[in-house]
C-alpha cells in the first residue's frame, strides 16, 4: 500500500513538475530487454521512420565531406543498428554504437557491419577514450533526466570540427529538452520532418562554441 502510494506520488511529481522542465524518464533495463526480445523496435525499420534517419544521414554526410577521410561516428543508444544499416552505403572510418540493452547490441552485432563495435553501456556513464567527428543520438536522449548534461560530458570526445546530431520526435515535453540543450549548445542547423501519419521529428546539429552560419539561402 505504502509502496504503491509512493510509486504514484513519484509518477505525479514527474508528470506535473519534472517533465515540463525537460527531465527525461529512463526505461528500466529489464523492460528494454523484453521489448527487444519481442521485436517492438521493429517499427523503426518501417517507411514511417525512414525520413528521420535519412535527414540524420544527410547531416553526417555533409559534415563528413569537410574531412579528408571517412567520419568517426559514435551512436548513443544505437538500438538494433538501424542507423548503420541505412548509413552503410556512405561508409565510415569507425563506428561505435552504445546501448544499455544487451539484446539490442546482440541484434546490432549480428548484422556484421565493417569497422564497427557495439558496446553494452549506459551513455550516462560511458567515458570515451577516442575522438569522433559526429556523435549521434536518435530517439534516445530523452531517456535520461538531464540530456544537456550527457551531451556536455561528450564534448571532449568531439574532434576539432565535430558535431552532435540529435533527433527527437515531437512528443510530450520534448520541446523542454531542446530548450535545455540549447542553453548550452548552439544549433548550427535543424530540420523538421513529418510523415504521412503526422508524426514529426526535429533533427538538430550542435557544435561547441559560436560558429558562423554559411551557405544560407537568402529570402
Ligand atoms: C527508440 S530506441 C532508438 C534506437 C536507435 N537510436 C534508432 O533510432 O534506431 C532508444 C534506444 O536508446 C537506448 N537507451 C536509452 N537510454 C539509454 C542509456 N542511458 N544508455 C544507453 N542506451 C540507452 C535504448 O536501449 C534503446 O535502444
Confidence of residue 213 (pLDDT cuts 50, 70, 90): very low
Burial of 119 (0-12, 13-18, 19+ CB in 10 A): middle
- Our CA angle for 210, 51, 31, nearest 5°, is 90
The residue whose CA has the least distance to atom 9 of ligand 1 is: 82
Nearest CA, atom 8, ligand 1: 138
Residue-averaged pLDDT of the chain:
93
Which tens digits make up the pLDDT trace of 90-140? Answer: 989 999 999 999 999 999 999 999 999 999 999 999 999 999 999 999 999
Give the β-pairing of 132-138 and 72-76.
parallel
Mean pLDDT of all residues in 194-216: 79
Rounded to whole angstroms, how far apart are CA atoms 67 and 31? 40
Nearest to 158 by CA among 179, 139, 177, 135: 135
From the CA of 122, give the closest atom in ligand 1. 20
- Delineate the domains of the chain, giving CATH numbers in brackets: 2-207 (3.40.50.150)
How confident is the model over 62-104, as pLDDT tens digits?
A: 999 988 899 999 999 999 999 999 999 998 999 999 999 999 9
**Beta-carbon contacts of residue 55 (< 8 Å; ≥ 6 apart):** 167, 191, 193, 201, 203
Ligand 1 centroid to Cα of residue 76, in Å, is 7
C-alpha cell at 119: 558496446
The vertex-34 CA angle with 29 and 38, nearest 5°, equals 145
**Ligand 1 within 6 A of CB of 32:** yes
* pLDDT for res 187: 96
Per-residue pLDDT at 217: 53
Which pLDDT value is given to residue 17?
Answer: 87
**Which residue of 84, 127, 143 sits with most ligand 1 atoms within 8 Å of its CB, as the best mutation to test the pocket?**
143
The whole-number pLDDT of residue 10 equals 84
- Provide Rg for the chain, Cα atoms: 18
Residue 123 CA: nearest ligand 1 atom is 20
pLDDT above 70 as % of the chain: 95
pTM of the model: 0.93
Q: How far is CA 84 from the centre of its chain?
A: 13
Which of the two residues, 213 and 31, has the higher pLDDT score? Answer: 31
Query: What integer pLDDT is reported at residue 68 of this predicted model?
Result: 85
What's the rounded mean pLDDT across residues 185-202? Answer: 97
Distance 217 CA to ligand 1 centre (A): 35
Amino acid at each position: 500500500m505504502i509502496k504503491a502510494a509512493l510509486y504514484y506520488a513519484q509518477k505525479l511529481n514527474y508528470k506535473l513538475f519534472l517533465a515540463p522542465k525537460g527531465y527525461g524518464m529512463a526505461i528500466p533495463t529489464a523492460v528494454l530487454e523484453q521489448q527487444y526480445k519481442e521485436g517492438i523496435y521493429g517499427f523503426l525499420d518501417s517507411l514511417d521512420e525512414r525520413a528521420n534517419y535519412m535527414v540524420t544521414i544527410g547531416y553526417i554526410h555533409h559534415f563528413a565531406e569537410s574531412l579528408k577521410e571517412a567520419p568517426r561516428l559514435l551512436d548513443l543508444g544505437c538500438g538494433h543498428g538501424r542507423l548503420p544499416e541505412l548509413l552503410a552505403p556512405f561508409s565510415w572510418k569507425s563506428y561505435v554504437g552504445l546501448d544499455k540493452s544487451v539484446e539490442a547490441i546482440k541484434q546490432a552485432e549480428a548484422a556484421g557491419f565493417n569497422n564497427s563495435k557495439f558496446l553494452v553501456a549506459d551513455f550516462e556513464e560511458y567515458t570515451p577514450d577516442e575522438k569522433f567527428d559526429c556523435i549521434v543520438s536518435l530517439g534516445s536522449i530523452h531517456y535520461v533526466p538531464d540530456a544537456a548534461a550527457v551531451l556536455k560530458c561528450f564534448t571532449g570526445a568531439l574532434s576539432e570540427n565535430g558535431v552532435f546530431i540529435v533527433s527527437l520526435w515531437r512528443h510530450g515535453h520534448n520541446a523542454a529538452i531542446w530548450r535545455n540543450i540549447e542553453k548550452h549548445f548552439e544549433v548550427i542547423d535543424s530540420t523538421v520532418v513529418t510523415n504521412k501519419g503526422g508524426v514529426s521529428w526535429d533533427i538538430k546539429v550542435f557544435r561547441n562554441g559560436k560558429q558562423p552560419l554559411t551557405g544560407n539561402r537568402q529570402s
